[in-house]
Amino acid sequence: MFFKKTVPFILTLSVGIFSFLYYFMPHAFMQDMWDKASDWAIIIGGGAMFVGVISMVRAYYKRATNKLDPNRYYAVITILCFFVMTVVGLVTGIKPGSLFNDIFVGIMIPCEATMFSLLAFYIASAAFRSFRLKSFSAGLLLFSAIILMLAQIPTGENISPAIPWLKGWLLDYPNVAAQRAILIGIAIGQVATALKIILGIDKSIYAGVGGK
């Protein structure tokens, strides 16, 4: 119990306080300590990645050997691709022109393009449902979307010279204001979450889901 909860809490609290003081105490000693801590973070990050790889292989191996799982063949393909790419990368390197890079460019990039193409259709479908004129807010959203889409094509400027101006106004004022509000909310949430973890209020990260 001591090593599972108390030690991680002490380490988290110490690192959190040190990181907080570093930004308000620009001293040479603090900078030296920060550089050393950054080196340790790289080492720990590498170890965490190694643990993550083992966890991923174990999870997909269990799915691949589970005959009741209808998606177990996808797990088999994932494991095979992982080991093939690992071996090819270690043998041929990852420089441009290597076999690893050719496989990545020939398979990964087309798959990503296909995925984002499908995502575009889902977004278009969701946008069609959202733009139904059911309320005043939906009307504003529909009007803004029409202005922005017309401003992207030459026909929009031919319809009215005010359309490009409206596009610039929408992007510079309502859009920026909404983005700032979202970013401020995200920042406040990050600070609150960090304080909960540093002060030990949120103990679920030390004991799994639900704090058990």
* In a domain? residue 161: yes
* In a domain? residue 207: yes
Residue 181's domain comprises 133-211
Supply 128's token pair.
């069609």
Measured at the alpha carbon of residue 128, what is the angle toward residues 122 and 134, in degrees to the nearest 5?
Answer: 140
* In a domain? residue 193: yes
* In a domain? residue 35: no
Measured from the Cβ of residue 150, the count of other Cβ atoms closer than 10 Å reads: 19
Highest averaged pLDDT of the listed ranges 40-49, 105-114, 124-133, 178-187: 178-187
Q: Which helix (H) or strand (E) holds 105?
A: none
Q: Does residue 93 have a pLDDT over 70?
A: yes
This model's pTM is above 0.85 = no
Binning pLDDT at 50, 70 and 90, where does residue 206 land? Answer: low
Supply 156's token pair.
């929009």
* In a domain? residue 206: yes
- DSSP annotation of 209 reads G
- DSSP annotation of 1 reads -
- Mean pLDDT confidence for 176-184: 95
Burial class (CB in 10 A: 0-12, 13-18, 19+), 34: middle
* In a domain? residue 123: no
Binning pLDDT at 50, 70 and 90, where does residue 210 land? Answer: very low
Would you mind telling me the total number of residues written for the chain in this entry?
A: 212
Per-residue pLDDT tens for 12-62?
788 888 888 888 877 788 888 888 888 888 998 889 999 999 999 999 999
Looking at the structure of the chain, the number of domains it has is 1
* In a domain? residue 172: yes
Three-state secondary structure call for residue 96? coil
69: left (phi over 0), alpha (psi -120 to 50) or beta: beta
* In a domain? residue 116: no
DSSP code per residue over 25-91? ---HHHHHHHHHHHHHHHHHHHHHHHHHHHHHHHHHHHHHH-TT-TTHHHHHHHHHHHHHHHHHHHH
- Mean pLDDT confidence for 137-147: 82
